[in-house]
Amino acid sequence: MIVFRTGVILCALAAAACQSNKLDVYRKPINTPSAALAEDSTKASPTEETETTESEGYGYRLSDITPAQRPTTGTVEGGIWYQADKAEVKIARSGKRIKDGPLPAYVEKIVCTLAGPYCDDIRVYVVRTNGFNASMMPNGALIVQSGFLIRVRSEAQLATVLGHEIGHYLRRHSLKRTKDTVTGANTAAWVGILLGVPLGPQVFANLREFSRDHEREADGYGLLLMSRAGYDPRQATWVWDRLVRIVGPEAIKERKRYNFMATHPTSPERSKALRIIANELEERGDVAAEPIDGFVEYQNVMAEYRADFIEDEIADGNFDELERLLEILIGDGENRAELLFYRGEIFRRRGKKKDPEQAMFAYNRAFRAGTPPPEIHRSIGLIHFKLKEFDQATEHFAKYLELKPDAKDASIVKSMMGAGT
Amino acid sequence: MYNSAFAGALGRSIGPIAIRAILITLAAFALSACVTTDRVVKEAFEKAKPPIRVVVMDPDVNLGELTAGGVTVPNDEWSLQAKTHIRTHLKNKMGALDVETVYMQDQSINDDQEIGYMQTMFEVVGNAIQNHDIRPILQLPTKKNNFYWTMGPTVARLREQYDADFALMTWVHDTYSSPDRVALIVVGAILGIGIQGGVQQGYMGLVDLSDGRVVWFNRIQRGFGDLRTAEAAEGSVEFLMGNFPLAKGKGKS
């Protein structure tokens, strides 16, 4: 019994130690004393900068890279940037890149505010790609996916993720990761050839653990940069809570099972850690009295794009997640007519047994909520058409063409009118 | 390239390291079965009337160090050195032919997007030919004895811009063993385990700008020759241009 208890206590201690370790990684950018920075071995060149806030007197770890700094040619970092520069040209030319409308400039503006003196070093590319993701290339090219943009609620939540990505750049995580990978692979090769022990899986797991630590550190940067720019750092927690709701409990469970292989910490872990640190920031008086939320501004900018982005996700067929996402967006309270129309679209296109009824129910709610897009009449027409209710179908097709006379699919819709007569 | 991604609740699958390892293994297989890989569409050159004008795209050169564990670390200094050498030899070779040449510099982000697009597409098509036409292991059934690859009519933009009949594209990738890779190879040899060193891979292609079809393509794959030196770079360009179709045209006219 005693042995058993000791075991439990040891386990608990080990878990607690691990937990506090992780929190410290998140905290690293925010609360690292200057003395520790000098001994930091992760940097590639001696350009470490610290900045001390006037009143509190605690050190901010600002970055490993100075503004406008480029790596020396012939170094590992020089090679990585050479490749990144080439890849960036391709992204800039990509057909998926969004160049028109207010969105690119809006995201750039926020990046600039967050990045401060590094504003000119970071170039933003907004791309039409599904899924919650943004990524920072080693050379400062920041790719923001449309799938991420429709999943966050406000400017403050957008800033959370942008700040995180800027953190990767400032801490040169891609360089560190390259070095870790080379070292890990070398060790595995030598151990493999001399001892005949395959170390591959172990090295892989280690590299993933390093990767998760980079993400934790970048999360800390997100908090730091956003609170400096006047946003509420608690928004970071809300982003992860929101994502947990969007992906659903099953995906989270599955994800936890394979955690040792994952590049990123789990969303619940991030949510929890960031809540603790956001509270610490607030206790220090490091959060603006009236933080910027930017809900309305964000919704206004997104209004022009949202329908396209949702169409992209529907085309991917990830209906369950999209259903949960739309529920949340409808709950946010803006553009309800459009969102309810798309809720109906999910059911109509999924086409399971009870889906036509569910779709019609959502379309009706959309009409009650405001003015849905003209396509709603085409969709209602198609449901009637499938049920061989041709009169009602024709009526709605006509309404669609009346509201959208230059519709691209006008001739197809016309050919379906008057069927069954 | 997406080193510091911000994936959501679901993690990523295998990273670039694993892919690279697979590619290196494949390359090692392919190396053992090195054959002539020249592809040519003769009609395209028969119908071309002198003076023939060729736009030469800036060679795309990527050099790196192959570390003991098989990870390639890119090196910009070596890449630029090799690029300079290859560019020089290309100019020399082209200058000796009975064709007019115009050289196109690398397109940056702010240059003409449509021209830049051609450069990117050329690379994509070139890689597809290399992987799915020439390599027996990945060859597509529809491409067996049927060399038909095209960039489509969009190349008209290139034809107008440079008033050219053909576009020439060069892509070269090479890796050199790091000292610890060399040590590993030696130890491996003692123990009777074969370990691959760096591999030079490259290709060159000619596009008919009247219709976008790739009308000539050649590939190099060898485990020797240091492109950072002018001699080796010249050797590789010589090899790639060994059966250059426009050189034969000169003899006839």
pLDDT digits (tens, 9 = 90+) for B70-109: 999 999 999 999 999 999 999 999 999 989 999 987 777 7
**Segment holding B6, helix H or strand E:** none
Does residue A14 carry a pLDDT above 90?
no
Q: CA Rg, chain B, in Å?
A: 19
- Cα–Cα distance list, B61 to A15, A405, B79, B206, B233 (Å): 49, 52, 6, 17, 11
Hey, how many other C-beta atoms are within 10 angstroms of the C-beta on B222? Answer: 16
Q: Where does the pLDDT of residue B24 fall: very low under 50, low under 70, confident under 90, or very high at 90 and above?
A: low
Dist. CA B250–CA B253, nearest whole Å? 5
Indicate whether B47 belongs to any domain: yes
CB contact under 8 A, A165 and B6: yes
Looking at the structure of chain B, the number of domains it has is: 1
The answer to whether residues B187 and A195 touch, using CB atoms and an 8 Å cutoff, is: no
The one-letter amino acid code at B29 reads F
Mean pLDDT of all residues in A252-277: 85
Indicate whether B13 belongs to any domain: no
Phi, psi of B207 (to 5 degrees): -110, 130
Q: Which residue has the higher pLDDT, B108 or A284?
A: A284
* Residue found under tokens 């926020």: A110
Hey, how many other C-beta atoms are within 10 angstroms of the C-beta on B44? Answer: 20
Does residue A32 carry a pLDDT above 90?
no
Q: Cβ contacts (< 8 Å) between B179 and chain A: which residues?
A: none
The one-letter amino acid code at B107 reads Q
**Closest by Cβ to A186, choosing from B62, B69, B120:** B69
Indicate whether B15 belongs to any domain: no
Q: Cβ contacts (< 8 Å) between A93 and chain B: which residues?
A: 109, 113, 116-117, 120
pTM score, two decimals? 0.83
Q: Cβ contacts (< 8 Å) between B9 and chain A: which residues?
A: 132, 243-244, 247, 251-252, 255, 266-267
The answer to whether residues A44 and A291 touch, using CB atoms and an 8 Å cutoff, is: no
Dist. CA B143–CA B146, nearest whole Å? 5
What is the least distance, in Å, from the CA of B122 to any CA of chain A?
12
Q: Can you give the pLDDT at residue B248?
A: 52
Dist. CA A184–CA A70, nearest whole Å? 26
CB contact under 8 A, A81 and B76: yes
CB contact under 8 A, B71 and A181: yes
Dist. CA A73–CA B80, nearest whole Å? 10
What is the least distance, in Å, from the CA of A276 to any CA of chain B?
20
Chains A–B, number of C-beta pairs less than 8 Å apart: 147
Q: Cβ contacts (< 8 Å) between A242 and chain B: which residues?
A: none
Dist. CA A274–CA B243, nearest whole Å? 63
Half-sphere exposure of B239 (CA within 13 A, CB side): 21
- Tell me, rounded to whole angstroms, the distance of Cα B119 from its chain centroid: 12
DSSP state of A405: T
The answer to whether residues A243 and A157 touch, using CB atoms and an 8 Å cutoff, is: no
Dist. CA B220–CA A37, nearest whole Å? 48
- Cα–Cα distance list, A340 to A246, A309, A317, B68 (Å): 17, 15, 18, 57
Hey, how many other C-beta atoms are within 10 angstroms of the C-beta on B137? Answer: 9
Indicate whether B27 belongs to any domain: no
For chain A, percent of residues with pLDDT exceeding 70: 86
CB contact under 8 A, B4 and A136: yes
Bridge-partner residues for B56, per DSSP?
B103, B168
Q: Can you give the pLDDT at residue B25?
A: 52
The candidate with the shortest Cα–Cα distance to B76, out of A139, A120, A177, is: A139
DSSP state of B130: I
Note the pLDDT tens digit of each residue in B48-72. 888 899 999 989 999 999 999 999 9
CATH number for the domain that contains residue B69 = 3.30.160
| Alpha helix ranges (H) inside chain B | 16-32, 42-47, 76-95, 113-129, 156-162, 179-190, 230-240, 245-252
Indicate whether B52 belongs to any domain: yes
Q: Which residue has the higher pLDDT, B5 or A386?
A: A386
Ranking B15-24, B203-212, B223-232 by mean pLDDT, the lowest is: B15-24
Dist. CA A159–CA A134, nearest whole Å? 12
Ranking A48-57, A136-145, A170-179 by mean pLDDT, the lowest is: A48-57
Dist. CA B22–CA B71, nearest whole Å? 11
Return the residue in B2, B4, B63 with the most chain A beta carbons within 10 A, the one to mutate for interface testing.
Answer: B4
Peptide linkage before B51 cis (omega within 30 of 0) = yes
The answer to whether residues B198 and B51 touch, using CB atoms and an 8 Å cutoff, is: no
Note the pLDDT tens digit of each residue in B139-166. 888 888 889 999 988 899 889 989 999 9
For chain A, percent of residues with pLDDT exceeding 90: 59
- Check if the interface score ipTM surpasses 0.85: no
Does residue A150 carry a pLDDT above 60?
yes
Is B67 an 8 Å CB contact of chain A? yes
Mean pLDDT of all residues in A220-232: 91
Ranking A55-69, A150-164, B16-30 by mean pLDDT, the lowest is: B16-30
Range of the domain at B119: 36-252
The answer to whether residues B107 and B123 touch, using CB atoms and an 8 Å cutoff, is: no
Indicate whether B86 belongs to any domain: yes
Is B193 an 8 Å CB contact of chain A? yes
Q: Can you give the pLDDT at residue A59?
A: 38
Indicate whether B5 belongs to any domain: no
**Residues in B 33-52 with any Cβ partner in A closer than 8 A:** none
- Mean model confidence pLDDT for chain A: 85
Indicate whether B124 belongs to any domain: yes
The one-letter amino acid code at B106 reads D
Is B107 an 8 Å CB contact of chain A? yes
**Segment holding A41, helix H or strand E:** none
- CA dihedral (A120, A211, B178, B138) in degrees, to 10, reads -100
